[in-house]
Chains A and B, each alone.
Chain A
Amino acid sequence: MLSKEQNEALTRVGPGTPMGELLRRYWYPVAFVRELDEWPIKKVRLLGEDFALWKTPQGGYGIMQERCPHRHASMVYGVVEEGGLRCGYHGWLFDCEGNCTDQPAEPEKSTFKDNVKAQAGKAQALGGMVWVYIGPDPAPELPRFDVYVDEGFKDVGHSMLPCNWLQIMENSVDPHHVEWLHGRYFQFVGEQKGFLAPPAFQKKHVKVGFDPMEWGILKRRVLEGQSEQDDDWAVGHPLVFPYCMRVGGAGIDQMQIRVPIDDTHTWALFYANHHPDGLDEYPDQVYPTDYEYQWIDDQGNFIVDYIEGQDVMAWVTQGDITDRTAEHIGKSDIGVVMLRRMFREQMALVAEGKDPTVGFTREPHDRIELPCEKNKFGAGVDFALAWLEMGSSRYSPALDILKKLHIQAAAARGELPGQHTVDTPGQ
């Protein structure tokens, strides 16, 4: 349970709020490279503010406030030029730094434009997505995590969800939910609908552990029948502060990305890189495959017969911003308790004018490897196939390509489907 004021402080993401200030120290993906190749301007909402994102003719990206500083028409309906983004209404031109460099209707010698500055951020591409930074200068490095830079076949499901990002993050330090939401509840849904839910998810958690690390919180678990020598405990997988979680196994590496759009909306992406052992060539991709996963049906009910759909149900039904003054948390929720403290500590650093110390770097780098179990789930092709069919990738237009890729890799390894028992995927 939290006081009302702490709940407010931890969930408000707008400009000038303590959490909003902390979150403005990080880069966020806000578009697919593909989208801006198809149409070079996109409206973006991030942390409660609206922006126009554009691709420059030179191949870079710019992001500025959506409203033109002149008389507030939307820059999303502007003209992309070499010099920047020009407002469609009266033609004011802004460069990538937000400087106003042309006001066609003003007298030629006027210095008026030198007195106008738009709010501008920074933008760059990584892993087929466009990432932006809208915080104070100097911007930190965009962390180039393994999933985004490694070779492989990339598949990204995404959807806009009507809830605050923090309740999704709290789910990432809540290992016990796996045996209930994806175990017992999945089994119940299967019994009602007539399918066999994966029994492996029903395994009991014997022990869970949480260790703070430079990128977030490393989550470990011992399941029934396992020991501390198993990857689930020995390696674990991290919550990546402040808005991601890294999971994987069997040649699939996934980043779960939760972009705080505003206080009550989160863009939730499942970004997966498929690179099973046994393959060194992957099907050609100009861009990562991107698609929306479905989470609500025509009747307005949540779609709960797949893993991520179950998670979405849990995140969204807690309420747009869950009322933590009325919750009852216990010993099995200490990961959540620890995460709230970590956010508070990092907010305090930023309020004192310092850099955050978690999930943040100013060191230039090529690739950051995150710890993540490899030899869990039996590590075989059966797990990969189950992941594809019981996860959000069941909505992927590349589903058949992905299955084929994992089966080919298994054949190259001399492994046949059905040889392994599928162990519990951790979410």
Chain B
Amino acid sequence: MVALRDYPNHVEPPDPVPDRRLTGVHWWDPDRLRHLADLPRHCPACGAELTGDGGISVEYWEADHRVYHTWCRSCGWTGDIIRVHRMIGHEPD
């Protein structure tokens, strides 16, 4: 973050900050890397690569489950991929 104290409202936009994002080691890194490793890499329908500009996969949580909302650019498949650790019936949301 910029030092907000030094940021009066009425100024021209300062130069963009140099790229220093996502490069440092964070205390949450182990968890973050584990989640990144689980992201789907291929479309479940056509097998095309989802990385790069091939599509998108966004992880969100639904109770204990991790859901990957996914869109494939090649075939247009859109849907949720859910990572399941344990099968349980009649589970509330």
Contact = CB atoms under 8 A, between A and B. Distances in A.
A292 B9 contact: yes
Question: Chain B interface secondary structure, helix, strand, loop or mixed?
Answer: loop
A329 B60 CA distance: 5
Contacts of A316: 1, 4
Contacts of A319: 1, 21
Given A321-B21, A330-B62, A345 B5 contact: no
A328 B93 CA distance: 17
Q: How large is the interface on B (under 10, 10 to 19, 20 to 34, 35 or more residues)?
A: 35 or more
A353 to B, nearest CB: 14
A388 interface: no
Interface in A304-354: 316-317, 319-321, 323, 325-326, 328-331, 333-334, 337-338, 340-341, 344-345, 347-348, 351
Contacts of A263: 16
Interface in B1-34: 1-5, 7, 9-14, 16-17, 21-22, 26, 28, 32
Most buried by A among B26, B52, B57: B57
A345 B71 contact: yes
B15 to A, nearest CB: 8
Contacts of B60: 1, 329-331, 333-334, 337
Contacts of A365: none
A331 B58 contact: no
Interface stretch (A4-12, A108-116, A187-195): A4-12
Contacts of A338: 69
A292 B26 contact: no
A368 interface: no
B48 interface: no
A119 interface: no
B53 A347 contact: yes
B53 A295 contact: no
Contact of A341 (B1, B58, B61): B58
B32 A325 contact: yes
B9 A326 contact: no
Most buried by B among A18, A43, A320: A320
A337 B2 CA distance: 28
A296 interface: yes
A334 to B, nearest CB: 7
A265 B3 contact: no
Interface string A60-77: 000000000000000000
A2 interface: yes
A159 interface: yes
Interface of B: 1-5, 7, 9-14, 16-17, 21-22, 26, 28, 32, 35-36, 39, 51-53, 55-62, 69, 71, 73, 78, 93
Interface of A: 1-9, 18, 43, 45, 48, 159-160, 162, 261-265, 292, 294-296, 299-300, 302, 316-317, 319-321, 323, 325-326, 328-331, 333-334, 337-338, 340-341, 344-345, 347-348, 351
CB-CB nearest 4 A-B residue pairs: A300-B5, A1-B59, A344-B56, A265-B13
8 contacts: A7-B22, A162-B1, A300-B3, A326-B28, A330-B60, A331-B60, A331-B93, A345-B71
